[in-house]
C-alpha cells in the first residue's frame, strides 16, 4: 500500500510538472542554449583538443616565416591563417579562435589579439609567447655572432649548430594548472549544476500549491501514512533533478563530444548533488508562502551559488576569499570534482572527499527540509 501511495504521488507530481510548458523549456531547451553560447565564448573546444589560434601573415619575411613555422610545430595549437587583422579580431571576438597574432612584413613588432582572460585564452597566449620566444632567441644569437665578427652565413650556421647541440627539454604539466578544461568541456558540467539546482528549486512551487489546495491533508485523510507522503514528495523532486542531470550529460556528450570521465565517479558526484538539490527544493517548498516564490527565488539563489562555485568562470580568475566562501556551498565541491574527472586517469578514489562533503550537505539539507515539511504540511490541526 505504501509503495502504491508513493507511486501515485510521484506520478501525480510528474504529470503536473509536464503540463508546465515554461518549466519544460527551462529544463529541456535553455541549458543547451546556455552551453552553446557560453561554450563558444570560451573557445568552443573540448578538453584535450588543440587550441585554435588565428594568424595574419601576408608575404612574411624570414622572421615571420620562422614564427609561423614555430607556431605550426606547436602540437597544442591549431593554426588558422586569416586574411586581415579586422577578420582576426572578429574571429577572436566571436570565439572561433582563442587568440590571434598579426605578423607584419619587415617588422618585429607583433600584434597579439585576445579577449578571453580564461584558461583557454591564457593557454593560447603562453603557447604563442613560447613560439615567438624561440625565434627571438635565434635572432639574438645570430646578431651576437655577427657582432663578434662572423659573416651572416657563418653566424646562421653557428646558431644552427648550437641549436642541434642544445639539450632537449620537454615540459609536462600536472595537477590542475592549465589542465582546466575549456569551452564546452567547462560549460557543460557548470550548467548541469546550475540548471539541476535552479529547476529543482523552481518545481518546489508544486509543494506550495499542494498545501494551498489542501491536497496534502486530503491525502492524509486516506489510508496513507505521513512517511508515504513525505517519500512521495521527496522522490518526485529527486526524479526531476536526476532527469535534468542525465539529459544534460547525455545530450552534451552526443552534441559536443564531452568526456565526463569515470562513469562511477560521475554518478557519485551528480547523484550526491541531486540529493542536495532535492533537499533544497523540499525546504524551499515548505517555507514559501506563495507558489510564485520558488520560481522567483530559485534562479537568483542558484546563480549566486553558481558564481561562488565556479560555474560561471574558472576558479583561478576569482579572488581567494571568494573561492573560500564558495566552499560553504555544494556547487564548488561538485564543480571541482567534475572538472577533476576530465583529467584522464582520475577515478572515484580521487574525488571521495568531494563525494563525502556533498553527501554530508545532502543529509543536513534533507533533515532540515523534512523537519520543516512535517511541521508545515503533515500536522493536521
According to the 3-state scheme, what is the secondary structure of 345-361? CCCHHHHHHHHHHHHHH
Least confident segment among 26-40, 111-125, 133-147, 357-371: 111-125
Q: Is the dihedral of CA 29, 315, 299, 227 positive or negative?
A: positive
State how far the alpha carbon of 254 is from the alpha carbons of 29, 35, 48, 247, in Å.
15, 13, 17, 11
pTM reported for the whole predicted model: 0.67
* Bridge partners (DSSP) listed for residue 304: none
Per-residue pLDDT at 171: 46
Find the DSSP H helices in 119-225.
Answer: 119-147, 152-165, 184-202, 205-213, 215-221
> How far apart, in whole angstroms, are the C-alpha atoms of residue 294 and residue 286?
10
**Residue 43 predicted with pLDDT over 50:** yes
Grid coordinates given for 78? 591549431
Question: Are the beta carbons of 103 and 64 closer than 8 angstroms?
Answer: yes
Q: Name 313's Cβ contacts closer than 8 Å, sequence gap at least 6.
A: 118
Q: Are strands 111-113 and 99-102 parallel, antiparallel or unpaired?
A: antiparallel
Burial class (CB in 10 A: 0-12, 13-18, 19+), 269: buried
Per-residue pLDDT at 34: 83
Q: What is the mean pLDDT of the chain?
A: 81
Q: What is the DSSP letter of 344?
A: T
Query: Three-state SS for 105?
Result: coil
For residue 173, name the pLDDT band (cuts at 50, 70, 90): very low
Q: What is the pLDDT of residues 313-369, one digit of tens each?
A: 777 777 888 889 999 999 999 999 998 888 778 889 999 999 999 999 999 998 998
Per-residue pLDDT at 312: 84
**Residue 168 predicted with pLDDT over 60:** no
What number of CA atoms fall less than 13 Å from residue 87's CA on the CB side?
9
> How far apart, in whole angstroms, are the C-alpha atoms of residue 177 and residue 187?
18
Amino acid at each position: 500500500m505504501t509503495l502504491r501511495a508513493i507511486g501515485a504521488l510521484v506520478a501525480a507530481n510528474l504529470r503536473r510538472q509536464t503540463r508546465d510548458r515554461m518549466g519544460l523549456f527551462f529544463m529541456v531547451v535553455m541549458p543547451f542554449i546556455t552551453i552553446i553560447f557560453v561554450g563558444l565564448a570560451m573557445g568552443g573546444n573540448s578538453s584535450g583538443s588543440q587550441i585554435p589560434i588565428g594568424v595574419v601573415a601576408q608575404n612574411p619575411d624570414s622572421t615571420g616565416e620562422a614564427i609561423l613555422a614555430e607556431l605550426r610545430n606547436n602540437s597544442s595549437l591549431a593554426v588558422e591563417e586569416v586574411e586581415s587583422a579586422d577578420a582576426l579580431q572578429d574571429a577572436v571576438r566571436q570565439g572561433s579562435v582563442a587568440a590571434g597574432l598579426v605578423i607584419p612584413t619587415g617588422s618585429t613588432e607583433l600584434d597579439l589579439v585576445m579577449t578571453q582572460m580564461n584558461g583557454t585564452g591564457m593557454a593560447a597566449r603562453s603557447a604563442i609567447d613560447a613560439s615567438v620566444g624561440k625565434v627571438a632567441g635565434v635572432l639574438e644569437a645570430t646578431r651576437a655572432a655577427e657582432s663578434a665578427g662572423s659573416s651572416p652565413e657563418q653566424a646562421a650556421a653557428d646558431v644552427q649548430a648550437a641549436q642541434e647541440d642544445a639539450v632537449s627539454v620537454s615540459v609536462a604539466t600536472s595537477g590542475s594548472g592549465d589542465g582546466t578544461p575549456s569551452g564546452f568541456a567547462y560549460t557543460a558540467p557548470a550548467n548541469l549544476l546550475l540548471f539541476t539546482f535552479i529547476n529543482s528549486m523552481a518545481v518546489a512551487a508544486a509543494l506550495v500549491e499542494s498545501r494551498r489546495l489542501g491536497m496534502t491533508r486530503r491525502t492524509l485523510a486516506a489510508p496513507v501514512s505521513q512517511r508515504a507522503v513525505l517519500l512521495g514528495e521527496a522522490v518526485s523532486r529527486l526524479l526531476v533533478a536526476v532527469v535534468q542531470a542525465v539529459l544534460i550529460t547525455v545530450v552534451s556528450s552526443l552534441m559536443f563530444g564531452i568526456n565526463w570521465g569515470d562513469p562511477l565517479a560521475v554518478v557519485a558526484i551528480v547523484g550526491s548533488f541531486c540529493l542536495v538539490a532535492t533537499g533544497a527544493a523540499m525546504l524551499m517548498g515548505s517555507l514559501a508562502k506563495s507558489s510564485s516564490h520558488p520560481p522567483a527565488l530559485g534562479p537568483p539563489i542558484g546563480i549566486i551559488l553558481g558564481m561562488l562555485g565556479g560555474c560561471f568562470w574558472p576558479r583561478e580568475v576569482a579572488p581567494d576569499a571568494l573561492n573560500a566562501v564558495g566552499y560553504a556551498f555544494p556547487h564548488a565541491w561538485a564543480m571541482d570534482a567534475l572538472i577533476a574527472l576530465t583529467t584522464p586517469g582520475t577515478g572515484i578514489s580521487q574525488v571521495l572527499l568531494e563525494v563525502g562533503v556533498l553527501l554530508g550537505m545532502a543529509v543536513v539539507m534533507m533533515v532540515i527540509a523534512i523537519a520543516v515539511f512535517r511541521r508545515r504540511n503533515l500536522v493536521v490541526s
